[in-house]
């Protein structure tokens, strides 16, 4: 997939696949430090992590392209904290729900969301917009444990 990086040159961005085993959590967060803080908490809770800043406004997110995104494809759970004022962020959320409907999706969103976003978030596990890394880790643990129980029951 060709994505523009910088102002003048187009480059291939093909996010590397996961190098570590399950369980894997993909964290979509535009703020690097905040993303790393969540990642650190999840690592200490026993998860392999990937942190993606989401679409940065200078190109197409691989997730919305034909090739897809390897980290999203092989994640066991996705934590999405992109903020949904931008259409590009909503597009990522839409793609995650469409392409990977079986992957649990945890979305950090404010309570006063518009109707479109509410519809988009229907069925997602919603987190308050000001959730701390500890709250997010606890929610992931709770959700992934719940998912494991469901899998077990299904088997």
Partner 1 sequence: MRSPFHSEQEAFRFLLLLTLALIPVVLAAALGPTWLALVVLAVVLGVLALRVARLRMRKVRGLALPVKMAPPHMGSAAERRVLVVANDTLGDEALLSEVERLASVPDTHLLLLVPALISPGARLTGAIDGLLDQARARLKTALDRAGGHGLVVAGEISEADPLEAIEDTFATFAPDEVIVSTRSERAASGLEPRLAGLVRERFAVPVRHLVLEPDSAAQEPDEDTEARYRQEFGEVAARKFGLKTLVGAGILAAVLLSMVALVQSSERDEARAASQAAEQAAALPPVAKLVVLKVIPEGKLGPEGEKHDAFTTTEFAVRAGQPQQLRIDNTDTVPHSITSPGAGVNIVVMPGTHTYTLLVRHAGVFLWFCAFRCDEWAMQHPGYMSGYITAS
| 29 forms part of the interface with partner 1 (CB under 8 A) | no
To partner 1, the closest distance from the beta carbon of 130 in angstroms equals 22
Q: Are 91 and 61 in contact (CB under 8 A)?
A: yes
- Distance in angstroms (rounded) separating the CA atoms of residues 129 and 152: 32
Q: Rounded to an integer, what distance in angstroms lies between the CA atom of residue 118 and that of residue 81?
A: 15
Q: By C-beta, is 52 or 136 nearer to partner 1?
A: 52
Work out whether 18 is an interface residue with partner 1 (CB under 8 A). Answer: yes
Name the residue with tokens 């444990």: 145
- 8 Å CB contact between 94 and 82: no
Task: Say how far apart CA 75 and CA 52 lie, in whole Å.
Answer: 12
Cβ proximity to partner 1: between 4 and 142 the closer is 4
78 makes contact with partner 1 (CB under 8 A): no
Residue 48 binds partner 1 (CB under 8 A): yes
Q: Is 52 in the site for partner 1 (CB under 8 A)?
A: yes
Q: Is 12 in the site for partner 1 (CB under 8 A)?
A: yes
- Under rule CB under 8 A, residue 79 binds partner 1: no
Residue 76 CB partners (closer than 8 Å, separation 6+): 22, 23, 24, 25, 103, 104, 144, 147
| Residue 70 touches partner 1, criterion: CB under 8 A | yes
Q: Which is nearer to partner 1, 48 or 127 (CB)?
A: 48
Given 4, 10, 17, 148, the residue binding partner 1 (CB under 8 A) = 17
Residue keyed to tokens 């959590």: 25
The site for partner 1 (CB under 8 A) is made up of 5, 11-13, 15-20, 35-36, 39-40, 43-44, 46-53, 56, 62, 70-71
């Amino acid at each position: 997939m060709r994505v523009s990086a910088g102002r003048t040159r187009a480059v291939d961005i093909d996010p590397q696949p996961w190098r570590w085993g399950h369980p894997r959590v993909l964290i979509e967060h535009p703020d690097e430090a905040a993303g790393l803080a969540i990642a650190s908490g999840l690592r200490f809770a026993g998860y392999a992590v990937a942190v993606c800043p989401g679409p940065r406004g200078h190109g197409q997110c691989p997730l919305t392209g034909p090739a897809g995104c390897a980290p999203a494809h092989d994640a066991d759970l996705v934590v999405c904290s992109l903020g949904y004022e931008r259409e590009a962020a909503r597009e990522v959320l839409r793609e995650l729900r469409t392409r990977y409907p079986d992957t649990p999706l945890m979305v950090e969103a404010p309570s006063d969301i518009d109707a479109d976003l509410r519809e988009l978030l229907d069925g997602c596990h919603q987190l308050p917009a000001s959730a701390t890394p500890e709250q997010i880790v606890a929610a992931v643990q709770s959700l992934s444990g719940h998912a494991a129980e469901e899998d077990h029951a299904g088997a």
